[in-house]
């Protein structure tokens, strides 16, 4: 599997260039990377970029990438999140092999390293509250103040830290802090917290621990213990690199991974903060973490995006150091490009209008041959049942049609795709004046859609045989938010910008009968409608539900241009 389209012809991004230079210089024999998610939520499209980068470098160099769970915050973590993350990474096409790790694997070693820092006079137990620590830390323009507990002896700190570990103190009463420099221009280095008391049961270690290491202390040492060569993270950790290096240098560890930062993935019309995604789920604004409107990986999977489309998208946006915003249309186009090549063409009528071919023999059913992909003959053909009664799209008929309307109207001839030329003769309406049926005639000599006399017909429409139609529910999805940057307004909640039209449910759709055999991995282009897949999360036998993955073109952009 490749992780980039035409990667051989592309210049290396700056991280891959660093890796290549390190290999060429002999600094490393092969790169070892890691993807270190916190198991406190589902992965989203931003994580996909990191997954493709870290695992991609490993694949490209015949090396390994570790999957390591940063499970140091037990109150917010669960095995369900662990399993969902493993499932998402595998689905994207990557494998960690034997290199599945957890920060909790190293709790004993991390505790020993903390003791070592205390013995060296490089860490101390502090009794300040969280609010006091923030107050003492200072600002970007003012240095911090030393904690009154900063100069405790190593013996007293060892005793207190041991008692913290034994559960003698309440949460929030004491922490272990690194002893660095309260006057540092980098606020991260102003005696950061290394351990805090959390009396929560851990999903792997149970109640063995009541103190847990902070991310910055855990991450660098976990990287070192796993002999990671290149520790790749997003730009918000750039200031933390100084602490990463300080811990490893101070402890004089046997190896020292290099932390490199890259720009995170920002996409408009969405939010990717785990806190905000969780809020959407908990408040019932979406159906769950896998809601197809969410840009979680599980949501994209349920929506019908393919792993290849997401990998191609990540390759397209690339890796850089400058923060920027990617238009949602780039992600949607990646889906279109992939689906256009591989999705089988089928007929689906989403808003059905019945037509009766009055001169077609009653009781007769023909088999019409249709191509599965007109641009790819290797995908073969299928047969469609054709009968006297058919469904067409209601939008394909206008009673009073303008001159440039080339579809069906009274007295106008159109082509039924792969079948016959038909002409509308009569419109049947109900008591409220709504059109309920069209009476048409067909030309038996035009089977296949061409007239022997050479007459030209501009309009071609799709159809489904009434007695053979598969009734289905179809869900049409749009962007979850109405504005480009839903969390940019500091005066309003991002929830204020939810799109009320982000989901439309069509309950009386008529599909060609072969779709009854659709499987969870199948993708289809409903001709003239968009790309669709079966929603396996809600399907029941005999009542299929199909999700629209993406429209045939960027209808959102065209709509906005029109406005």
Query: Which of 145, 150, 204, 264 is flagged as catalytic?
Result: 264
Reply yes or no on whether 208 is catalytic: no
d(CA 260, CA 35): 13
The sign of the CA dihedral 442, 445, 449, 453 is negative
What is the DSSP-derived secondary structure letter of residue 323?
-
Residue 57, C-beta contacts closer than 8 angstroms, at least 6 positions apart: 15, 16, 19, 31, 33, 63, 65, 230
Which residues, in sequence order, are bridge partners of residue 261? 233
Write the Ramachandran bin of 484: left for phi over 0, alpha for psi from -120 to 50, otherwise beta: alpha
Reply yes or no on whether 274 is catalytic: yes
d(CA 149, CA 384): 81
Query: Which of 5, 38, 437, 528 is flagged as catalytic?
Result: 38
Reply yes or no on whether 447 is catalytic: no
d(CA 357, CA 363): 12
CB 140 within 8 A of CB 187: yes
CA distances (Å), origin 73, targets 76, 78, 180, 251, 280: 6, 10, 24, 24, 22
d(CA 287, CA 289): 7
CB 196 within 8 A of CB 130: no
Among the listed residues 164, 153, 249, the one whose alpha carbon sits nearest the alpha carbon of residue 212: 164
Query: Which of 165, 196, 258, 274 is flagged as catalytic?
Result: 274
CB 233 within 8 A of CB 218: no
Instruction: List, as one string, the DSSP characters of 464-502.
Output: EEGGG-EEEEEEEE--SBSSS-TT--TTS-GGGGB-TTS
- In the three-class reduction of DSSP (H, G, I as helix; E, B as strand; rest coil), residue 101 is classed as strand
d(CA 394, CA 463): 11
Report the run of H or E that residue 134 belongs to, with start and end: helix 130-137
Give catalytic residues, as residue numbers. Answer: 38, 264, 274
């Amino acid at each position: 599997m490749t992780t980039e389209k035409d990667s051989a012809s592309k210049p290396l991004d700056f991280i891959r260039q660093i890796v290549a230079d390190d290999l060429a210089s002999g600094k490393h024999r092969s790169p070892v990377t890691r993807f270190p998610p916190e198991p406190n939520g589902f992965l989203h499209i931003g994580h996909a970029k990191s997954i493709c980068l870290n695992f991609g470098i490993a694949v490209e160099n015949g090396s390994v990438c570790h999957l390591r769970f940063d499970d140091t915050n037990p109150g917010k973590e669960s095995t369900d999140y662990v399993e969902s993350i493993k499932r998402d990474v595998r689905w994207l096409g990557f494998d960690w092999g034997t290199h599945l790790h957890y920060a909790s694997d190293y709790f004993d070693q991390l505790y020993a390293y903390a003791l070592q820092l205390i013995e060296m006079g490089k860490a101390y137990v502090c009794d300040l509250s969280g609010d006091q620590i923030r107050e003492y830390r200072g600002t970007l323009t003012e240095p911090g103040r030393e904690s009154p507990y900063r100069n405790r002896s190593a013996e007293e700190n060892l005793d207190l830290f041991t008692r913290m570990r034994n559960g003698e103190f309440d949460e929030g009463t004491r922490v272990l802090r690194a002893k660095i420099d309260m006057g540092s221009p980098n606020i991260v280095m102003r005696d950061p917290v290394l351990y805090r008391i959390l009396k929560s049961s851990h999903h792997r270690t149970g109640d063995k621990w009541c103190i847990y290491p902070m991310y910055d202390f855990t991450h660098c040492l976990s990287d070192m213990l796993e002999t990671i060569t290149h520790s790749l993270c997003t730009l918000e950790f750039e200031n933390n690199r100084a602490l990463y290096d300080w811990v490893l240098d101070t402890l004089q560890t046997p190896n020292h991974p290099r932390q490199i930062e890259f720009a995170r993935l920002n996409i408009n019309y969405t939010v990717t903060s785990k806190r905000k995604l969780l809020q959407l789920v908990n408040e019932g604004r979406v159906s769950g973490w896998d809601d197809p409107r969410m840009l979680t990986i599980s949501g994209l999977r349920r929506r019908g995006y393919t792993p290849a489309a997401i990998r191609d998208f990540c390759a397209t946006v690339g890796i850089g150091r400058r923060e920027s915003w990617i238009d949602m249309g780039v992600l949607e186009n990646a889906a279109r490009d992939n689906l256009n090549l591989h999705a089988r063409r089928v007929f689906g009528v989403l808003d059905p209008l019945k037509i009766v071919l009055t001169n077609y023999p009653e009781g007769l059913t023909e088999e019409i041959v249709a191509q599965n992909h007109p641009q790819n003959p290797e995908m073969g053909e299928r047969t469609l049942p054709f009968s006297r009664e058919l469904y067409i799209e209601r939008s394909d008929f206008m009673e009073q049609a303008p001159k440039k309307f080339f579809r069906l109207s009274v007295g106008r001839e159109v082509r039924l795709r792969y079948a016959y030329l038909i002409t509308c003769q009569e419109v049947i309406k109900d008591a409220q004046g709504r059109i309920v049926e069209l009476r048409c005639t067909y030309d038996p000599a035009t089977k296949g859609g061409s007239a022997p006399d050479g007459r030209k017909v501009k309009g071609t429409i799709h159809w489904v045989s009434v007695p053979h139609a598969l009734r289905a529910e179809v869900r049409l999805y749009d962007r979850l938010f109405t504005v480009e940057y839903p969390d940019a307004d500091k005066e309003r909640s991002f929830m204020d910008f939810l799109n009320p039209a982000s989901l439309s449910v069509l309950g009386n759709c008529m599909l060609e009968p072969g779709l009854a055999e659709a499987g969870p991995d199948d993708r289809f282009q409903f001709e003239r409608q968009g790309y669709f897949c079966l929603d396996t999360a809600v399907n029941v036998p005999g009542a299929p539900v199909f999700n629209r993955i993406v429209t045939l073109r960027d209808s959102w952009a065209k709509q906005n241009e029109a406005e």
